[in-house]
Amino acid sequence: MESHKGYIIIKENEYFFTLDDFLFIIYVGANPSARISWPEINTIIDNEWIHVFDADNNELYLKVDCAEYHHKDEYCYHILGFIQLFHFNRNPLNVNVKKEKTVFECKSIIIRNPIIDFMLRKDKTVIDRSIHLLNMWKDEKAILDDVPSRKSFQIKIDEIAYMLCFEMMSRFEYPKPFPFEMFNTLSVRSEVGVSIDNIWNVIMAIKLFLQLISQSRIVNFDDIMIDFKEEAHPDYNAFIYMRQDKEQNIEKDKVFCYEHIEQGIESIFKQILDNQICFRSLFRYSDKEISTYDIMNICAAFESQFSAANPKFIDKGQKAIKRRMVKDLEGLRGNYTSDEHEHFDTVLDGLKHYNDTLKKRLEIALEEFVRIYGEKEVEFGFANDFSLLPERMKNTRNALDHGNPNYYLTTAMFRDAELLRAITYMLILQAAKIDDINIKECLIKLSRYPL
């Protein structure tokens, strides 16, 4: 990203700032009269946003991640992303121009990411769409004949309705030998103007969606275009720049195909927005290895997803045995001294609240997975001894949870984690009302041999 610098007024004092590599630094300087406290510095934050003008009269809205104290003369904020407004009627050389805060809102944004291209690469209309876009450079009135429009999807975030559509776009790039670039995008449109907070929440939901369909813990955006062509054009243009986490490593063969998830896209977004998918535990930490904490994480993700799908699930056999044991133990309380009652009650209370149903849940979900995927296919794509997963995963999770140093981990246990990840995805796709045939096509992307 390009650097920005300028001045900001805090408590009637003017301070120099820089924005570079998503670090916003305010320089207090050596003048004792300009000293300022953290609480006073933090007054510039309005609902997690900082608003400033840079030296070129560009208007910036900065999304704050966290603060960092450098030393007595520097205060730093880590920035998650920012919106930059390029005002057409503000001469960068005119330092006396009146800088009034713009009430920013828009109705449409366009997001580009390789995951979208990989998702649509098997779309049979890609070639026709590409030809149409090339023809438009020759004749803007070119008509897209015999190519059906892709479906639009409606989602609601912060009580605002948005229409999502996957579209192909083109761009002229003069330096390249073939100066036309074609790429797929996700366009998001609203009938009403939305604020920066609304836009940010939309972007975060789309980021989670792309993580899900690509099985990627890290998804980065480059600049996000704000499209003003369908509304009254303001006196500025705007782009959204997002901080890059780490280098994203998207495996194209693991990205779900559009045709396999099309019927469930709206439902997937609803699960995301209702916080029904445990993203923090769903993905491996590293693309190159499976670790013990990956096993713990996927167990947590599975249990969360199973509970979302079966909120009233009860292991009736376990419940009946527990009820009888509690009744028997309560009758034995008189056999213990009053000094022992505290420990007795603690043990009894532990039994009352015991609810280890992981194995039973795994058995139910695995049976459903085999029904959809096929027994021979599970053996080929995941593990020959997949039937041992419920007992083995329960024991592995408990050993790791309780720090058992004598429990020996084998390769099979790490393979179990990948099979359990696929089972968790199955629950997500079933909740999205995707049919069994398309669920199986998606689950192949999680196997040892994604196609």
Query: Is 27 within a domain?
Result: yes
- Please report the pLDDT score of residue 372 as a whole number: 97
Report the half-sphere exposure of 104 (CA within 13 A, side-chain side).
25
Of 128-137, 264-273, 343-352, give the range with the top mean pLDDT: 264-273
Paired tokens of 4? 């920005």
Is residue 79 located within the same domain as residue 167? no
- Please report the pLDDT score of residue 96 as a whole number: 53
- Please report the pLDDT score of residue 98 as a whole number: 57
Quote the pTM value. 0.86
Query: Is 240 within a domain?
Result: yes
Query: Is 25 within a domain?
Result: yes
Query: Is 92 within a domain?
Result: no
Helix axes 265-273, 411-431, angle to 10 degrees: 110
Contact (Cβ atoms closer than 8 angstroms) between residue 58 and residue 85:
yes
Is residue 196 located within the same domain as residue 213? yes
- CA–CA distance from 79 to each of 48, 67, 373 (Å)? 10, 9, 44
Residues 166 and 168: their CA atoms lie apart, in Å, by 7
Residues 78 and 70: their CA atoms lie apart, in Å, by 12
pLDDT single digits (tens) 334-373: 888 888 888 887 877 776 666 667 888 899 999 999 999 9
pLDDT single digits (tens) 21-55: 999 999 887 566 777 888 888 999 999 999 999 98
Please identify, among 249, 273, 297, the residue that sits at the C-terminal boundary of a domain: 273
Is residue 191 located within the same domain as residue 288? no
Is residue 72 located within the same domain as residue 43? yes
Helices within 150-291 (DSSP H only): 196-214, 258-261, 265-273, 279-282
Give 312-364 as a DSSP string.
Answer: T---HHHHHHHHHHHHHHHTTGGGS-GGGHHHHHHHHHHHHT----HHHHHHH
Rounded to 5°, angle at Cα 281 from 273 and 274: 15
Query: Is 427 within a domain?
Result: yes
Whether 103 shows a pLDDT value over 90: the answer reads no
- Please report the pLDDT score of residue 254 as a whole number: 94
- Please report the pLDDT score of residue 451 as a whole number: 72
Whether 145 shows a pLDDT value over 80: the answer reads no
pLDDT band, very low/low/confident/very high, at 144 (cuts 50, 70, 90)? low
Of 90-94, 263-267, 349-353, give the range with the top mean pLDDT: 263-267
Is residue 307 located within the same domain as residue 196? no
AA identity, residue 243 = R
- Please report the pLDDT score of residue 24 as a whole number: 96
Is residue 132 located within the same domain as residue 14? no
Please, what is the average pLDDT of the chain?
A: 85
Rounded to an integer, the average pLDDT of 4-10 is 91
Rounded to an integer, the average pLDDT of 6-23 is 91
Please identify, among 35, 57, 87, the residue that sits at the C-terminal boundary of a domain: 87
Query: Is 237 within a domain?
Result: yes
Give backbone dihedrals phi and psi of 374, rounded to 5 degrees, phi first: 100, 135
Is residue 159 located within the same domain as residue 240? yes
| 443: nearest Cα among 262, 254, 250 | 254
Identify the sign of the CA torsion 200, 202, 205, 209: negative
Please identify, among 53, 87, 121, the residue that sits at the C-terminal boundary of a domain: 87
Maximal CA-CA distance, the chain: 95
Is residue 117 located within the same domain as residue 227? yes
Query: Is 386 within a domain?
Result: yes
Q: What is the SS3 assignment for 290? A: coil
> Domains in the chain: how many in total?
3
Q: What is the span of the domain harbouring residue 307?
A: 281-313+357-444
Is residue 113 located within the same domain as residue 260? yes
Is residue 188 located within the same domain as residue 244? yes
Task: Give rounded-to-5 percent helix, strand, coil for the chain.
Answer: 45, 25, 35
- Please report the pLDDT score of residue 155 as a whole number: 94
Is residue 122 located within the same domain as residue 34? no
Contact (Cβ atoms closer than 8 angstroms) between residue 261 and residue 169:
no
Is residue 133 located within the same domain as residue 241? yes
| 443: nearest Cα among 309, 249, 260, 250 | 260
Question: Dihedral through CA 191, CA 197, CA 203, CA 209, nearest 10?
Answer: -90
Query: Is 371 within a domain?
Result: yes
Report the half-sphere exposure of 115 (CA within 13 A, side-chain side).
25
Give 147-161 as a DSSP string.
Answer: -PPPPPEEEEETTEE
Instruction: Identify the residue with better confidence: 408 or 143.
Output: 408
pLDDT band, very low/low/confident/very high, at 450 (cuts 50, 70, 90)? confident
- Please report the pLDDT score of residue 124 as a whole number: 78
| 238: nearest Cα among 269, 207, 195 | 195
